[in-house]
Amino acid sequence: MSKLREQMVADLLLRGITSGTQRTYLREVSNLAKYFGKSPEDLSEEEVKEYLVHLMKDRKLSGGTYKYYVSGIKSLYKTTLKREAVVEKIRYPKAKQKLPVVLDLSEVKALFS
């Protein structure tokens, strides 16, 4: 296990992050490193943004999956690497809101009869 990975695991443990979420965050950070072929320590803010755009445009990740990637990457840069500036402008996707079901007049009458 690399020193960076060990540091991230320790930080996640200290924050009380569950083992399942830890595995997810570590996998997402590993995918980031593989995409560029270098350690996340050596990536710039622009490279991180490029990767996130790749996830949305090329990989077409769902909002929930994309949120896991963002969470893992933010955790790494904010907590482990202490480089918050790299991820401070990255936002989570807005959750899609479902419109309420509206009953028509006959359904309302049937409800009260």
- Report the CATH number that the domain containing residue 89 is assigned in CATH: 1.10.150.130
Calculate what percentage of the chain has a pLDDT beyond 70.
98
**What tens digit of pLDDT does each residue of 75-94 get?**
999 999 999 988 888 887 77
Confidence tier at 1 by pLDDT (50, 70, 90)? low
In the predicted model, what is the mean pLDDT of residues 13-19? 95
The total number of structural domains that make up the chain:
1
**What tens digit of pLDDT does each residue of 50-67 get?**
999 999 889 888 888 888
In our burial notation (b when 16+ CB lie closer than 10 A, e otherwise), range 52-75 reads beebeeeeebeeeebebbbbbbbb
* Residue given tokens 């083992």 in the structure block: 19
Range of the domain at 39: 3-112
One-letter identity of residue 37? G
CA-closest candidate to residue 45, choices 71, 70, 69, 77: 77
Confidence tier at 97 by pLDDT (50, 70, 90)? confident
Contact partners, residue 61, CB within 8 Å, separation at least 6? 55, 69
